[in-house]
Structure 1
Amino acid sequence: MKVAEKIADKIAGMPDGSTFRYQELPIEREEYTAATKAIERLVKNGLITRASTGLFYKPKRSAFGILKPDEQELLKPYLFSAGKRIAYITGTLLYNRMGLTTQVPKNIKIATRDKRLELTLGNQKVTSIKSYADINDDNYRYLEYLDAIKDFKTIPDLNKEAAVRLLKDGIGKLEDRQLFKKLALKYPPRVRALAGALMELVSPTEDLNALRKSLNPLSTFEFGLNTTLLPNNTTWNIA
């Protein structure tokens, strides 16, 4: 089968709106030159669209025209490797999805352990920051909440009362509290303090000794949260 035919068959089997890179196509290294020409023809004919350098998507069509894939789909090649999660969306886009801010960011941040990246997808710039732990499908939701605590003071248009409630409720729904506490210990002291305080509100009998002992008892952690907003703020030296 010719290279162009192999690529066409592969793309035909993809769901509309999905993204792909050359690495996901059924081609050998020596076939890349022919593959590049085949891809260019498909782009020219409107069968696929170039999202960024080396990244393409199969358009999803509606009565209103071609629909672009959402950020999650466009970013999928950078969030996963060989089918395994290696990164997650963080920053203002994450906090918007969590309901912590109404602002929609111009730029997107991705947390990743090792891989550094900087790219442009449409009108949005994507940059990476280093995660505090290795990332997988089992822990990235926990890391999202810890990131929100870390950035609590800088989240735009944050309503602190609503944020405490949203974070407390979200943490309360996490299945593995031991994992959450283990990951929290990898974050700066201020994150450990607020994470501990929120967990205590969720489960007053929770064993939080490891988080307490990791904190300097003489330190105060400034979040702008008084006792009205966070009933146990003083026991965690939060102000």
Structure 2
Amino acid sequence: MTYLSATIQEQIKAIPDDTSFGYGQLTIPARQYQSAAKVLERLQKKGLIRKLSKGIFYKPKKTIFGEKKPGEEQILKPYLYRDSQRIAYITGTYLYNQMGLTTQVPAIIQIASRDRRIFINRGTIQATAVKSYVDVSEDNYRLLGLLDALKDMKDIADLDLQAAIEIVTNQIRQLTKGELTEIVGYALKYPPRVRALLGAILSVMGKAAIAKILKESLNPLTVFKLGINDRLLPSAPEWNIQ
């Protein structure tokens, strides 16, 4: 067995079953991709891995019903990374469905990235690109997803506003002090309505001091018509949210 073959097999052993991966998840130099392709082809013939699409593979998970194929998130995972670094994340209706904000399931998934436009058309999986407001990393993509939900709150299909505010507020409550500081910083890159809604939620949580910079970034004469009153969010009036 060659060194490259042994290296690839050891790395694949460490990948959990039912998990997709691409060349970027294998720590091999690009100049060896052609040789690596032959190794991966042999592993496919042995049934150790399966091919999802060009350059994308997975380790099959055995069940009593046969082999289980990875779900959408696992299939998309290799597209969200470059050189093992996260550069994109799933957003839009698919994310909001996962958050419990809507029952809608999109036919086309949205993938947000700062510097890369990602389009996918692989069988039943279709994805289109949207622009991220900031650079994406493993540490911040969940925070950006929360901000996206605030940004789209008014336009999410099949949305119960009261339940949505409770869901997002509960997720923000779970953030650490450092993460709260980070999400406020990222919010400054988002549209004013996002800053206002995040500020109102933080105020309800007793985090007015952290929200102060958001208040200072807003035009005091701007009114945000989001269909949210003080019954849904007690601090809405002080943030000019209606």
Aligned equivalent of 1:222: 225
Query: Out of 181, 184, 187, which is 2:184 matched to?
Result: 181
Mark the CA change 1:210 to 1:105 in structure 2 (over 3 Å): closer, same or farther: same
For 1:19-168, what aligned pairs fall within 5 Å after superposition?
Answer: 19-25=20-26, 32-33=33-34, 35-40=36-41, 42-43=43-44, 46-168=47-169
Structure 2-normalised TM-score?
0.86
Superposed CA offset, 1:74-118 (max 9, x none): 222222333332222211111111111122222222221111111
Query: Out of 216, 234, 241, which is 1:231 matched to?
Result: 234
Superposed CA offset, 1:161-211 (max 9, x none): 111111112112211322121111110011111111111111154343321
Mark the CA change 1:48 to 1:235 in structure 2 (over 3 Å): closer, same or farther: same
Structure 1-normalised TM-score?
0.87
Aligned Cα root-mean-square deviation (Å):
2.5
Letter in 1 for 2:205: V
- In 1, Cα distance between equivalents of 2:222 and 2:40: 58
Deviation at 1:29?
A: 5.7
The answer to whether the 8 A contact 1:3-1:27 is kept is no
- In 1, Cα distance between equivalents of 2:40 and 2:235: 59
Letter in 2 for 1:201: V
Aligned equivalent of 1:170: 171
Any unmatched runs of 5+ in structure 2? none
- In 1, Cα distance between equivalents of 2:99 and 2:105: 12
Mark the CA change 1:30 to 1:79 in structure 2 (over 3 Å): closer, same or farther: closer
- In 1, Cα distance between equivalents of 2:191 and 2:32: 49
Q: Which moved more, 1:207-216 or 1:151-160?
A: 207-216
Identity %: 47
Any unmatched runs of 5+ in structure 1? none
Letter in 2 for 1:50: K
